[in-house]
């Protein structure tokens, strides 16, 4: 079951005895636990019937005993176990999960990883609980996810502003939402998020960001590329090399796919790469400026310099110097 369906059921008053929320993406786990904590019980019910435990500080018996209590002045009680991955003997919850109390809604947040699939508990979770397993989104899924989240808040966002926001924040869904909430306050009565808003309220330069670096490399524009890299050197927190290199590798990987295709129209390239039309133009332009062999060489260079960035074959060279050297080799290809 997905998070939206679980919340929809809760809003309708449909509850199951045990919910097990696990996996790498903590955003959905936190979202569900926060909703359960604030909305399943009303304020007067919660004072007697809401119990919250934290795995690192909790004994198994305390959680189980809380689950086995009957509710007071309410149809149900809610027991929430947060950070269950830190609780000793968490696997022994299987005894309660096998015979849960129908008047208890027991919600477990088990972040960072899944329970070992070979264990008895893992098999129980599939058959005896509402099980939610979360995964990190792929980087190419972030723009669509972010745009949907923005639309759900009744807002719209310019294409370039969206890319600036995603490139700056990266794969952190909670931080993306926090930044959008901050933007919402500053927009006042406006409904569209612009590049200027991202620059003013998120702190991303319109001219000097990873998206503009990617565009400059795609145009083989040496001056613009070096200006952006000089800005990064002067503002090292804006675009550390560990963030820049994967972004550029993704760009040239997609460029490789586009160059391998016989299509050259905007719609076909956008569909092939999973992009919006606005961004497909950048790839069409780059295909005209880079040969297939040059794109392959750029990918090899990016891999090579990624190794250098983590100290393999690096001769005491600064990250800024590495980036300028890499950019020159990609653009000039002599």
Q: Give the domain CATH number at 262.
A: 1.20.272.10
Cα distance between residue 266 and residue 281, in whole Å: 6
Weakest-pLDDT range from 115-124, 287-296, 300-309: 115-124
Over residues 257-281, the pLDDT tens digits come to 999 988 888 888 888 888 776 778 8
**In degrees rounded to 5, what are phi and psi of residue 247?**
-65, -45
Whether residues 80 and 182 fall in one domain: no
Quick check: 329 pLDDT over 80? Answer: yes
- pLDDT in the model for residue 264: 84
In 3-state terms the chain splits into helix, strand, coil percentages (rounded to 5) of 60, 10, 30
Asked if pLDDT for residue 114 goes beyond 90, the answer is: no
**pLDDT single digits (tens) 224-241:** 999 999 999 998 888 899
- Closest CA relative to residue 299, chosen from 234, 225, 217, 226: 217
Whether residues 29 and 75 share a domain: the answer is yes
Domain boundary among 169, 202, 235: 202
Listing DSSP states for 245-267 in one string gives HHHHHHHHHHHHHHHHSS--SHH
Burial class (CB in 10 A: 0-12, 13-18, 19+), 110: buried
For 47, the domain range is 3-134
Pairing of strands 18-23, 130-134: parallel
Question: Cα–Cα distances in Å, from 243 out to 102, 246, 274?
Answer: 48, 6, 21
Residues paired with residue 111 on neighbouring β-strands, in sequence order: 23
For the chain, how long is the longest CA-to-CA vector? 79
Could you report the per-residue pLDDT of 119-161, keeping only the tens digit for each? 888 989 999 999 999 999 988 889 999 999 999 999 999 998 9
Rounded to whole angstroms, the Cα distance separating 211 from 3 reads 32
Q: How far apart are CA 76 and CA 103, in angstroms?
A: 5
Last residue in a domain, options 113, 134, 155: 134
Among the candidates 168, 202, 236, a domain finishes at 202
| Pair 172, 218 in one domain | no
245 and 129 both lie in a single domain: no
Average pLDDT of the chain? 92
CA dihedral over 322, 324, 325, 326, signed as positive or negative = positive
Question: Is 221 found in the same domain as 197?
Answer: no
The whole-number pLDDT of residue 237 equals 85
Check whether residue 176 and residue 273 sit in a common domain.
Answer: no
What CATH number did the domain enclosing 174 receive? 1.10.8.60
For residue 332, what pLDDT is reported?
92
13 and 75 belong to one structural domain:
yes
Could you tell me if 20 and 49 lie in one domain?
Answer: yes
Question: pLDDT-based confidence at 314, cuts 50/70/90?
Answer: low
Domain tally, the chain: 3
Beta strands in the chain (DSSP E): 18-23, 50-54, 77-82, 104-111, 130-134, 156-157, 192-193
- Domain check: are 130 and 7 in the same one? yes
pLDDT value for 315: 65
Claim to verify: residue 125 and residue 166 sit in the same structural domain = no
pLDDT tens digit sequence for 11-68: 999 999 999 999 999 999 999 999 999 999 999 999 999 999 999 999 999 999 999 9
Asked whether residue 195 falls in the same domain as residue 251, the answer is no
CA–CA separation, 311 and 291 (whole Å): 30
pLDDT per position as a tens digit, 171-206: 999 999 999 999 999 998 899 999 999 999 998 898
Are 215 and 328 members of one domain? yes
Kindly report the CATH number assigned to the domain that includes residue 118.
3.40.50.300
């Amino acid at each position: 079951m997905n998070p939206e369906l679980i919340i929809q059921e809760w809003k309708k008053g449909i509850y199951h005895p045990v919910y097990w929320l696990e996996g790498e993406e903590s955003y959905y786990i936190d979202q569900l636990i926060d909703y359960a904590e604030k909305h399943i019980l009303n304020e007067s019910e919660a004072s007697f019937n809401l119990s919250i435990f934290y795995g690192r500080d909790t004994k198994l018996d305390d959680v189980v005993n809380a689950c086995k209590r009957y509710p007071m002045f309410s149809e149900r009680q809610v027991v929430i176990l947060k950070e269950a991955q830190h609780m000793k003997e968490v696997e022994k919850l299987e005894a309660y999960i096998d015979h849960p109390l129908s008047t208890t809604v027991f919600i477990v947040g088990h972040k960072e990883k899944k329970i070992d699939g070979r264990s008895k508990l893992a098999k129980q979770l599939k058959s005896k609980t509402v099980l939610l397993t979360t995964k990190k989104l792929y980087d190419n899924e972030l723009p669509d996810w972010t745009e949907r989240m923005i639309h759900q808040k009744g807002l719209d966002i310019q294409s370039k502003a969206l890319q600036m926001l995603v490139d700056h924040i990266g794969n952190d869904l909670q931080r993306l939402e926090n930044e959008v909430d901050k933007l919402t306050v500053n927009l006042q009565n406006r409904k569209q998020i612009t590049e200027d808003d991202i620059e003013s309220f998120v702190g991303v330069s319109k001219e000097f960001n990873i998206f503009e670096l990617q565009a400059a490399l795609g145009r083989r524009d040496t001056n613009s590329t070096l200006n952006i890299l000089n800005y990064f050197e002067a503002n090292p927190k804006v675009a550390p090399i560990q963030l820049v290199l994967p972004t550029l590798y993704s760009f040239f990987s997609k460029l490789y796919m586009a160059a391998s295709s016989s299509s050259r129209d905007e719609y076909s390239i956008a569909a092939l790469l999973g992009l919006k039309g606005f961004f497909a133009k950048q790839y069409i332009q780059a295909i005209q400026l880079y040969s297939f062999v040059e794109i392959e060489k750029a990918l090899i260079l990016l891999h090579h310099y990624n190794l250098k960035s983590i100290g393999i074959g690096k001769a005491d060279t600064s990250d800024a110097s590495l980036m300028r050297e890499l950019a020159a080799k990609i653009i000039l290809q002599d």
